[in-house]
């Protein structure tokens, strides 16, 4: 009796499922016939269909040696630049060894005094260890540092607009200062940007500490419609920005199934939402909403000087950017737009279009600071023994543990 009852329930469920499938098929055919009369994105079942594709499509991660090389070139640059910044800011561009080792920020970067001293001794093309125990810069390093400071002064209006646009991407037009600090290197901001840039532009920026919040926030005071135009909109060939596609390219050897090709083609034709627009009307479960999410990160990476940033730098910005849970999955679902490099013990998101298939930024995307940093890297390589220098030149010869997974493996959050 019980078994017959279960079989009856199963039959009813199958009947309901078949009826629902038939109704859905009829509705789709009706929706297809209406597309000739109005925009296809207005079809009643559009959101339902997009929810399905959002869940089902999976793309694989494939190593891109050229983009890995772009990331690997700066393996020790940030640590070296931190020391360069400290030493050059002291009178006479010189600091005593005990004073340098006592700096908390130096300990945070290197971990121990022994590591600091070993690093200074390794890169003699940048640092000079004096007999009296002082640390200074070599003439070549000091000259390059002065050129970098001049570059920062000349590009300050551009850096200010980048910072304003970053804040404009967020819903509250604000970011915790800690988050800005994480992005400081990528945005090209000087180490003392709080005391320099923020104070020089009180009409644009304000530091606030909300009641009950231990964090200090950087708040944008002035909105500019001229800045609220995305890079994708600027590059559009015509004035119609309704359904803009993103530039897409894949690693050599990357194979796409026909199902994924069709989905990508349809996804590219979806309506484009400006990352600076209010997203409250979008259903987060649809591909239209996902295209908006991709547009936000596409714009954010354009704001960085090297068109890349570490994944964890944006992981805490979900609510501020009006993103869904696990929002960084868009990097994995769209490997033709973003590349996740796994060298240097972290995951770095790279904007593919800015590199054109190579390891160097295309000229139209290159910020003046990028050329300065490349010169620092060249000076650091010159300090290494010839054999080690050749290994450093081949950035893929030194693999991190995360980089040992084979090609075609799927990324996980």
Q: Rounded to two decimals, what is the model's pTM?
A: 0.80
Q: Which of 25-29, 48-52, 294-298, 300-304 has the lowest mean pLDDT?
A: 48-52
Q: Is the pLDDT of residue 92 over 50?
A: yes
pLDDT given at position 281: 83
pLDDT tens digits, residue range 392-406? 555 444 444 334 443
pLDDT band at 87; cut points 50, 70, 90 = very high
Highest-confidence segment of 25-34, 100-109, 323-332 = 100-109
Q: CA-CA distance, 94 to 87, in Å (whole number)?
A: 6
pLDDT at 32: 44
The answer on pLDDT for 25 being more than 60 is no
| Contact present, 187 and 159 (Cβ < 8 Å) | yes
What is the rounded distance in angstroms from the CA atom of residue 56 to the CA atom of residue 45? Answer: 17
Band (pLDDT 50/70/90 cuts) for residue 260 is: confident
Mean pLDDT, residues 12-21 taken together:
45
Which tokens go with 31? 């929706």
Whole-number pLDDT of residue 184: 96
Query: Of 24-33, 266-275, 279-288, which one has max mean pLDDT?
Result: 266-275
**Domain residue ranges in the chain:** 74-148+378-383
Higher pLDDT, 393 or 205: 205
Whether pLDDT at 10 is above 80: no
* Residue 288 and residue 270 in contact, taking contact as beta carbons nearer than 8 Å: yes
Q: What percent of the chain stands above pLDDT 90? A: 64
- Best CA proximity match to 294, nearest among 262, 266, 336, 260: 336
Average pLDDT (256-280) is 88
User: Mean pLDDT lowest for which of 80-84, 254-258, 319-323?
Assistant: 254-258
Mean pLDDT of 29-38: 40
Query: Is residue 13 scored above 80 in pLDDT?
Result: no
Confidence of residue 390 (pLDDT cuts 50, 70, 90): low
Strands 217-220 and 174-176: antiparallel
Q: What φ, ψ does residue 340 adopt, rounded to 5°?
A: -95, 100
Short-list 301, 313, 312, CA closest to 367: 301
Answer whether 254's CB lies under 8 Å from 62's CB: yes
Residue 394 has which token pair?
């081949």
Q: What would the 3-class secondary structure string for the chain be?
A: CHHHHHHHHHHHHHHHHHHHHHHHHHHHHHHHHHCCCCCHHHCCCHHHHHHHHHHHCCCCCCCCHHHHHHHHCCCCHHHHHHHHHHHHCCHHHEEEHHHHHHCHHHHHHHCCHHHHHHHHHHCCCCEEECCCCEEEECHHHHHHHHHHHHHHHHCHHHHHHHHHHHHHCCCCCEEEHHHHHHHHHHHCCCCCCCCCHHHHCCCCEEEECCCCCCCCEEEECCCCCCCCCCHHHHCCCCCCCCCCCCCCCCCCCCCCCHHHHHHHHHHHCCCCCCCCCCCCCCCCCCHHHHHHHHHHHHHHHHHCCCCEEEHHHCCCCCCCCCCCCCHHHHHHHCCCCEEEECCCCCCEEEEHHHCCCCCCCCHHHCCHHHHHHHHHHHHHHHCCCHHHHHHHHCCCCCCCHHHHCCCCCCCCC
How does the average pLDDT of the chain come out, rounded? 83
Strand partners, 129: 135
pLDDT of residue 372: 96
Looking at per-residue confidence, does 378 or 1 come out higher? 378
Q: How many residues does the chain have?
A: 413
Identify the CATH assignment for 74-148+378-383 out of 1.10.10, 2.60.40, 3.30.70, 1.10.1760. 1.10.10
Q: Does the pLDDT of residue 167 top 80, yes or no?
A: yes
Q: Give the pLDDT score at 39.
A: 35
């Amino acid at each position: 009796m019980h078994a017959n009852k279960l079989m009856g329930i199963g039959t009813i469920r199958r009947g309901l499922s078949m009826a629902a499938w038939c109704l859905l098929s009829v509705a789709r055919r009706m929706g297809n016939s209406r597309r000739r009369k109005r925009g296809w994105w207005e079809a009643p079942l559009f959101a339902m269909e997009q929810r399905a594709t959002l869940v089902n499509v999976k793309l694989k991660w494939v190593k891109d040696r050229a983009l890995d090389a772009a990331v690997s070139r700066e393996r020790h640059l940030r640590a070296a630049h931190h020391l360069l910044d400290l030493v050059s800011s002291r009178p006479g561009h010189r600091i005593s060894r005990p004073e340098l080792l006592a700096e908390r920020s130096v300990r945070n970067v290197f971990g121990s005094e022994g590591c600091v001293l070993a690093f200074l001794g390794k890169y003699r093309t940048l640092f000079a260890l004096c007999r009296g125990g002082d640390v200074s810069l070599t003439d070549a390093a000091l000259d390059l540092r002065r050129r970098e400071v001049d570059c920062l002064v000349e590009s300050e209006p551009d850096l200010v607009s980048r910072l304003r646009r970053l804040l404009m991407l967020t819903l509250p037009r604000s970011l915790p200062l800690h988050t800005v600090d994480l992005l400081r290197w990528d945005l090209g901001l000087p180490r003392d940007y709080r005391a320099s840039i923020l104070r020089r532009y009180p009409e644009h920026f304000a530091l606030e500490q909300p009641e009950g919040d231990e964090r200090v926030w950087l708040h944008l005071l002035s909105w500019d419609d001229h800045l609220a135009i995305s890079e994708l909109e600027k590059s559009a060939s015509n004035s119609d920005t309704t359904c803009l596609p993103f530039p897409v390219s894949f690693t050599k050897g990357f194979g796409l199934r026909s199902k994924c090709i069709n989905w990508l083609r349809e996804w590219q034709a979806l309506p484009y939402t400006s990352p600076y627009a209010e997203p409250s009307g979008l259903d987060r479960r649809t591909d239209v909403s996902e295209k908006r999410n991709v547009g936000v990160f596409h714009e954010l990476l354009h704001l960085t000087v090297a068109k890349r940033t570490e994944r964890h730098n944006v992981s805490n910005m979900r609510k501020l950017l009006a993103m869904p849970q696990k929002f960084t999955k868009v990097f994995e679902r769209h490997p033709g737009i973003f590349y996740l490099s796994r060298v240097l013990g972290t995951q770095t998101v790279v904007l593919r279009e800015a590199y054109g298939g190579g390891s160097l930024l295309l000229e139209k995307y290159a910020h003046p600071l990028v050329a300065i940093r490349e010169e620092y890297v060249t000076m650091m390589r010159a300090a290494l023994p010839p054999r080690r220098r050749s290994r450093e030149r081949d950035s893929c010869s030194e693999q991190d543990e995360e980089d040992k997974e084979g090609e075609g493996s799927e990324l996980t959050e």
